[in-house]
Chains A and B, each alone.
Chain A
Amino acid sequence: MPLDDNSNGDFHRKLIEEVLEAYPDKTKKRRQKHLNVAEAGKPDCGVKSNIKSIPGVMTIRGCAYAGSKGVVWGPVKDMVHISHGPVGCGQYSWSQRRNYYVGTTGVDSFVTMQFTSDFQERDIVFGGDKKLAKIIDEIETLFPLNKGISIQSECPIGLIGDDIEAVSRAKHKDIGKPIVPVRCEGFRGVSQSLGHHIANDAIRDWVFDKKAIDFTPTDYDINIIGDYNIGGDAWASRILLEEMGLRVVASWSGDASISELERAPKAKLNLIHCYRSMNYICRHMEEKYGIPWIEYNFFGPSQIAQSLRAIAEQFDDKIKENAEKVIEKYKALTDAVIAKYRPRLEGKTVMLYVGGLRPRHVMTAFDDLGMEIVGTGYEFAHNDDYQRTTHYVKDGTLIYDDVTGYELEKFIEGVRPDLVGSGIKEKYPTQKLGVPFRQMHSWDYSGPYHGYDGFAIFARDMDLAINNPVWSKFKAPWKAA
C-alpha cells in the first residue's frame, strides 16, 4: 500500500532532529537509531529495535513478567497463576488486561484474582521454595477445581537462586496437575517481549505431551493463536471462523482453558494474530507436529475479508465458498458502519504507539474509515515486525521505536494529529494537549475491536473520541483571541 506521498517526510525528519537535541550526546547517538521516517521500497522501517531501554528517559515499556503473566498466562482461566515474589507486580496487573472469559470466578476460573506469595524479607534471605510448596498445597485445599498452577517469577526469584523447577516437579507428582514454573523475572530481556518467549517455551516444556489426550480430530480443526480476548476480541473472531465451517480447538490464550492448550497440537492449522507474542509456539508446533501457521488480521473489513480468503485457501472448496458467504453476509453491516462513520472521520490523522502488533495491524481499519496514520511505533517489536510494517505504512510516516515520554510528547505537539492511540500512561498527557486519545491496549474499556462486530464498535469509538464537544472547550472564551 505504500504511496508516493512524501509531503510529511521532510517535516518528520526535522522533528526527529529537534527532539534529539534535548539529549546528552551519548544518549542522542543511541536514540537516533530508533527514530526514522518510513520510505517506500525499503525492506524495513530503518530503525533499531529490541534493544535495552536507556536509563532515566521514561521508556513506556514493561518487563518480562508483564509479558508472561500479564499477556500469555494470565488469561488461561482455569489455572491459578501465582505472582511469585513481592506483592506489587501482581497487584498492579490485577484485572487490568481485560481478558474476557466465562466461568465461576474463585471456583473454577481465576483470571480476575491476584494470587501472590507476598515475599517478605525472610523469604529473600532464606529462599522461597518451601513457601512456594506450601502455597501450592493451600491452593489445592481452597481452590480444588483448579486445573493447574503456573508460577510467574518476579525479579527476586532469579536473584536469590530459588529452584522453582524442582518445587514444580515435586508438586506435580503430589497432585497430578500441571505445575508450570516460568522464569519471567522482570530484569530478563529488554521489555515484555522476552516474557512472551519464555512463557511460550514454558507451555512447550511443561504442558505439551504430558498426558494422553482423548480427541477426535476433523479436517477443519484450527487454533486461534495470539488473541487475548480483550473486550471479547477472540469471540468476535471465533464466530466468523465457525461460520466458515472451521472448528476452533484452542483459543490461545484469551478465554483459554488448559485443556485447549493441551489439545492444540491436534489441530490442522494455526492462525496467528499477535505474531510478536506467539510466533514461538507456532514455530514449535510446526517443527514438532507439522502444523502450518499463517498470520491473519481481523481489524477492519478490508483485512478481515483478505484474511478469511487466505485462511480458506488452506482448506477445501466448501470452506472457500463459506468464506465468501461470510464476507457477503456482513457486507451490509460494514457498508452501513462506513457510511455512518467515514464522513465524520475522513482525512483525520492518527499517531499510534502500542506493543508489538497493533502499530501495524490496526492501520487498515483506520484506512477503511478514511483516516490516515502519520506516525507509528512499537514498545517491544523486533526487526521482523518492522519488516512487516512496511506493507502497511505510507511513505513519510514517522517511526519511533521504544519511544520515550519526552519524544512522544514532542512528536504529538509537532504533528498535532487528530487522534493518538496508545496506553494508559500516554492517555492523560495527550488529552491535556487537547488531542483526542484512545487506549489501544485495553480498547479504553470498550471492544471488541476484532471481527465485523468489533469493527462497528471500533468505528463508533474513534468517532466519539474525535468528535466529542469537550475538545472545543479547552480555551476560556475570554482568552480565545
Chain B
Amino acid sequence: MPQSAAKVLDHMPLFREPEYKAMLKAKKEQFECPHPADKVQETDDWTRSWEYREKNLAREALVVNPGKACQPLGAVFAASGFDGTMSFVHGSQGCVAYYRSHLSRHFKEPSSCVSSSMTEDAAVFGGLNNMVDGLANTHALYKPKMIAVSTTCMAEVIGDDLNSFIQTARDKGSVPEGFDVPFAHTPAFVGSHVTGYDNMMKGILSHFWNGRERQASASVNIIPGFDGFCVGNIRELKRMLGLMGVDHAVLSDTSDIYDTPSDGTFRMYAGGTTLDQAKAALNAKATLSMQAYCTEKTLEMCAEKGQQTAAFHYPMGVSATDEFLMKVSELTGKPIPEALELERGRLVDAMADSQAHLHGKRYAIYGDPDFVIAMARFVMETGGEPVHCLATNGGKAWEEVMTQLLASSPYGAGCKAWGGKDLWHMRSLMATEPVDFLIGNSYGKYLERDLRVPLIRLTFPIFDRHHHHRFPTWGYQGALTVLVKILDKVFDAIDLNTNIPGETDYSFDLTR
C-alpha cells in the first residue's frame, strides 16, 4: 500500500507505484484490446518521418491542435479593458463559460462576462427576448457603466441583428436612457480571437465617435491588441510614454482588470480606459496599434476620422522598440529621453554579455501573427535562427511580411513562415528539421514532450506556469525579461545534458 498520512503521495508518484503499474498493465492487456507494442512504436516512428510530413502538410480539411481561438474571446478581452464594462455575449451560454475559464486559467484572475443564454426556442424564434431580459438583468445586478455586446456563432447563424435588438431593449427600458451599449458581430467562423478584438474595438470606438465632430488634439491613442502579457506590457508602455511626456490614452487598458489585489475585496471591475477617454480619443492626433493584425478595421476607421495611424507588430527587442519610440517621437515632437536610451544601452549590454550562448541557436516559433513576427525579429537580433515560424491565424499577407522580415537578416535564411497551419503540422516540421528551442504557449508542452525540445512560454495562453504575464515583454525592459527567459532555458538545457556524475562531469561548468 503506497499511500500514507505521513507523506501523502500525489497523482504523479502514486500511479508509478508497483500496485498501480501492475493494475494498469492488466487493464490494458485484458480489456483495452491494444495494438501490439511494436505496431505502436512503428507508427510513432513513422509520424516523425518526411513521408508523414508530406501527408500531414497535404491536409485540406482536418485541423489538429490549432494555435488560435474564436472571435468572441477577443471581443470579451477587448471590452474588459474599458472602465466598468461588462461583456454580454449574445448566443449560447456555454461559450461564455469557456471564455471566462480560458481567461481565468491564464491570468489566475476573475473574468466576468454574461450570456444571453439562448436555447432551442431562441434558435427558432430569434433571441430578441433574451436580449431584452438579459440587458435588464445585467444592468440591475452588476451595475456596469457600459455593456459591450458581442455574439456567439449560434446568434450569427440564425442572423440576429444586434443593432435592432439593442434598440428594442432600450425602447423597452432594459437600460436607462443614454446608457452605453456598444456592440460587435463576432462570428466564430470568421478569423480568430484577434479578429474579434478588432471588431469589438471598432464597435466601442464607433459607438462613441460616430456623429461627433472631431477637434484635433495633441494626444496619441495606443491600442495594445490581444495580449496575454497585457498586465506587464501596458504598464511598461505607459511608463515609457510617461518618461517621454506624451499625452496619451491606452484604448482597452487591461492591465488592472487582470491584476487585482488580494485584500478582501472582489473587484468585478478594475481600472481600464474611462468612457470619457474613449470619447475624447476621437480627437487624438494619431492612433498607434501595437498589433497590426488585431486592429485592421479599427485603424481604417481611425484614418477615416482624420487621425494619423501607425501599426506595429508587438514591439519586442531592440529595433522594434527603437522604431516604436521614434514613431511616437516623430508624431508628438517629444524627444526620446536619456532614461530610455540608458535602458536601451543596458539591454544591448546584456545581449552582448550573453551573445555566445545565443548565436546560432535554432528556434521554432508559433503564436498570433504579430507575436511571431516580433519573436522572430528579436531572436535574429541575438544571432539566433528562426527555422519554423507558424501562425494558425496568419494568412497570405502575414506570410509575405514574415518572408520579407526573414530576408532582411542572414539569420532568417533557413526559415519558412507557415500561415494557417497548426501545431500538428509543427510537430512534423520539428521532427524532420530539428530545432534547439520552441517558443510558444502552454500547448507547446506536447511538442516539448514528443520531440524533446525545450519550450519557452512567451505568449497566451500560459496555463501551466504562473505569473509570467505580470512582467513586460515590450520595450527595452521587456526585452530583458524575454532575453533572460530564453537564456535560462539555454543554460538549463546544458546543465540537464551534463549532469551525469562519472560521465559528463567535464561540461557541468560553474561559470558560463
Contact = CB atoms under 8 A, between A and B. Distances in A.
* Co-complex (A, B): yes
Interface of A: 22-24, 26-27, 52-66, 78, 85-89, 91-94, 96, 100, 102, 104-108, 112-121, 123-124, 131-132, 134-135, 138-139, 141-142, 144-145, 147, 154-156, 158-160, 186-190, 192, 231-232, 235-236, 238-239, 242, 248-251, 255, 257, 259-260, 263, 329-330, 333, 336-337, 339-341, 404-406, 409, 423-425, 427-434, 446-448, 452-453, 456-457, 459-460, 470, 474-476
B134 A55 contact: yes
Given A23-B141, A87-B70, A104-B44, A431 B262 contact: yes
Given A89-B95, A259-B32, 18 more contacts: A27-B137, A52-B117, A56-B117, A56-B133, A57-B137, A62-B97, A88-B69, A89-B94, A91-B68, A105-B446, A116-B64, A117-B63, A235-B15, A333-B4, A425-B111, A429-B110, A431-B262, A460-B8
A106 B47 contact: yes
Nearest to A188: B120
A449 B6 CA distance: 17
Contacts of B158: 159
Nearest to B91: A155
B69 to A, nearest CB: 5
A158 B122 CA distance: 13
Interface string B1-14: 11111101111001
B11 A54 contact: no
Contacts of A112: 446
B72 interface: yes
A87 B114 contact: no
B150 interface: no
Contacts of B88: 56
28 contacts: A27-B136, A52-B119, A55-B130, A58-B141, A62-B97, A66-B94, A85-B189, A88-B73, A92-B73, A92-B98, A106-B424, A118-B66, A119-B189, A120-B190, A142-B52, A156-B153, A156-B157, A156-B189, A235-B15, A235-B23, A336-B4, A405-B112, A424-B101, A425-B104, A428-B108, A432-B266, A448-B14, A456-B9
B212 interface: no
A-B CB proximity, top 6 nearest? A63-B94, A88-B70, A55-B134, A56-B134, A92-B98, A336-B5
A187 B66 contact: no
A248 B27 contact: yes
B177 interface: no
B137 A54 contact: yes
Contacts of A131: 61
A109 B80 CA distance: 38
Interface string B169-212: 00000000000000000011110100000000000000000000
Interface stretch (B35-43, B294-302, B339-347): B35-43
Contact of A433 (B6, B119, B266): B266
Interface string B59-84: 11111111011101100000000000
A340 B5 CA distance: 7
Nearest to B60: A134
B396 interface: no
B496 interface: no
B10 A428 contact: no
Contacts of A56: 88, 114-117, 133-138, 141
Nearest to A262: B33
B124 to A, nearest CB: 10
A138 B15 CA distance: 35
B46 to A, nearest CB: 9
B104 A117 contact: no
A100 to B, nearest CB: 7
Given A58-B112, A337-B5, A113 B73 contact: no
B24 A235 contact: yes
A155 to B, nearest CB: 4
Contacts of B109: 428
A61 B35 contact: no
Contacts of A257: 31-34
Contact of A155 (B32, B62, B111, B157): B157
B319 interface: no
B262 A54 contact: no
A446 B31 contact: no
A107 B41 CA distance: 9
Contacts of B63: 87, 115-118
B498 interface: no
Contacts of B446: 105-106, 112-113
A339 B129 CA distance: 56
A248 B30 CA distance: 10
Given A52-B117, A232-B11, A91 B52 contact: no
B95 to A, nearest CB: 7
B187 A259 contact: no
B152 interface: yes
A53 B115 CA distance: 10
A108 B34 contact: yes
B214 to A, nearest CB: 34
Contacts of B32: 78, 257, 259-260
A406 B142 contact: yes
B264 A59 contact: no
Interface of B: 1-6, 8-11, 14-15, 19-20, 23-24, 27-28, 31-35, 39-40, 43-44, 47, 52, 55-56, 59-66, 68-70, 72-73, 88, 91-95, 97-102, 104-105, 108-120, 122-123, 129-131, 133-138, 140-142, 152-154, 157-158, 187-190, 192, 260-268, 424, 427, 443, 446, 450
Contacts of A476: 263
B20 A107 contact: no
B123 A235 contact: no
A63 B35 CA distance: 35
B74 to A, nearest CB: 10
A238 B1 contact: no
A94 B64 contact: no
Contacts of A475: 263-264
Contacts of A108: 34-35, 40, 43
Contacts of B120: 187-189
A89 B102 CA distance: 11
Contacts of B140: 22-24, 27
Given A92-B69, A120-B189, A61 B56 contact: no
Contacts of B104: 424-425, 427-428
Contacts of B56: 142
B117 A53 contact: yes
B92 A155 contact: yes
A134 B63 CA distance: 11
B137 A102 contact: no
Contacts of A141: 55
A425 B100 CA distance: 6
Contacts of A139: 62
B137 A23 contact: yes
Nearest to A55: B134
Given A88-B73, A92-B101, A333 B5 contact: yes
A187 B125 CA distance: 13
Most buried by B among A88, A105, A142, A154: A88
B260 A432 contact: yes
Contacts of B190: 120-121
A102 B62 CA distance: 25
A265 B60 CA distance: 39
Contact of A425 (B15, B27, B28, B101): B101
Contact of B65 (A53, A113, A145, A427): A113
A444 B73 CA distance: 23
B11 A456 contact: no
Contacts of A94: 65, 443
B261 to A, nearest CB: 8
B40 A102 contact: no
Contacts of A123: 189
A109 B154 CA distance: 31
Given A86-B70, A428-B109, A446-B11, A61 B267 contact: no
A145 B35 contact: yes
